[in-house]
């Protein structure tokens, strides 16, 4: 089955700096790669996603890049703010077994004011 590895597990940055979280996946058939943000005591919430036919997607301070050849995708947060502090999860899904979804282990991001 699919395996998703996420790095780093913890990340601490200064307010205003950029943060990058990377995920690698094993199944080349994977076609959908969402990123979720989980704040303390809440369920994960989608912040950005990318489909396999797209190399990059941006939404204000957040961007995701996908390298299908290397089988990795990354979350980029620019001009970080304290409210960006949370746990971030990547995930991968694939059409041939559409109901399944594999998540990375999560990255705890701390933005220091």
Which residues in the 57-86 window bind other proteins by CB under 8 A?
none
Distance CA 90, CA 96 (A): 20
Is the CB of 1 or the CB of 113 nearer to other proteins? 1
Tell me if 17 contacts other proteins by CB under 8 A.
Answer: no
Is the CB of 82 or the CB of 98 nearer to other proteins? 98
Binds other proteins by CB under 8 A, chosen from 19, 21, 25, 36: 36
Tell me if 9 contacts other proteins by CB under 8 A.
Answer: yes
Tell me if 97 contacts other proteins by CB under 8 A.
Answer: yes
Binds other proteins by CB under 8 A, chosen from 64, 75, 80, 104: 104
Minimum gap (Å) between residue 98 Cβ and other proteins: 3
Residues near 91 by Cβ (< 8 Å), separated by ≥ 6?
A: 4, 33, 34, 35, 36, 101, 102, 103, 104
Using left for φ > 0, alpha for ψ between -120 and 50, and beta otherwise, residue 58 falls in beta
Tokens 């947060």 belong to residue: 77
């Amino acid at each position: 089955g699919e395996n998703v590895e996420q790095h780093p597990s913890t990340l601490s940055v200064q307010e205003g700096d950029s943060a990058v979280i990377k995920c690698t996946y094993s199944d080349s058939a994977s076609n959908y790669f969402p990123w979720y943000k989980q704040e303390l005591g809440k369920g994960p919430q989608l912040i950005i996603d990318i489909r396999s036919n797209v190399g990059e997607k941006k939404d204000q301070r957040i961007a995701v890049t996908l390298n299908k050849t290397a089988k990795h995708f990354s979350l980029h947060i620019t001009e970080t703010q304290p409210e960006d502090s949370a746990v971030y999860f990547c995930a991968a899904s694939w059409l041939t077994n559409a109901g399944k979804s594999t998540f990375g282990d999560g990255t705890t991001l701390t933005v220091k004011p």
